[in-house]
Amino acid sequence: MAGLTDYGEQQALIALLPNGTNVYIGFFTVLPTADDGTGGTEASSGGYARKDHQAWINAAEAPITYRVNNGAITFTALTEDLVAVGWGIWDASVAGNLIAFGPILDVGENEITQTFTSGNQPSFVDQELKIGLN
């Protein structure tokens, strides 16, 4: 099987997450169980909606090239508690195709469950979401 070069991986990531084109970030209460995105449950708590984002940059941690969010991603305030285990990136604000997903990680890069209480505005800081190819 043939593989992509580092340059090819960078170009593939740029094509999936281009600057200036909205993609939609959301939360999972159950992570997908397959690479095709099936088996997951998207959050549906009160006030939750996917958040649009369109600024991405390349970052590298050898040997992996990543595409990371450029700028914070801040959701609207929740009207009910939300317990999330992961995040997803879709090509539409509702339904659509899941492009990428991953677990929520703590600063030590351990998978965690994150509880957002009513009134909170969940957010991802600059360069927190990392989507990579290896």
45 or 130: which leads in pLDDT: 130
pLDDT band at 30 (very low <50, low <70, confident <90, very high): very high
106 occurs within a structural domain: yes
What phi, psi does 124 have (nearest 5°)?
A: -115, 130
Instruction: Return d(Cα 28, Cα 58) in angstroms, integer.
Output: 25
1 occurs within a structural domain: no
Query: What pLDDT sits at residue 134?
Result: 67
pLDDT digits (tens, 9 = 90+) for 93-108: 999 999 999 999 998 9
Query: What pLDDT sits at residue 45?
Result: 84
Q: Which region, left, alpha or beta, applies to residue 133 given φ > 0 means left and ψ of -120 to 50 means alpha?
A: beta
Q: What is the DSSP letter of 105?
A: B
Name the E strands within 1-134: 23-30, 41-42, 51-53, 56-61, 64-69, 73-74, 82-84, 86-90, 98-103, 114-116, 123-124, 130-133
- The domain total for the chain is 1
Report field, pTM of the whole predicted structure over 0.85: yes
116 occurs within a structural domain: yes
Residue 46: give the domain boundaries: 6-133
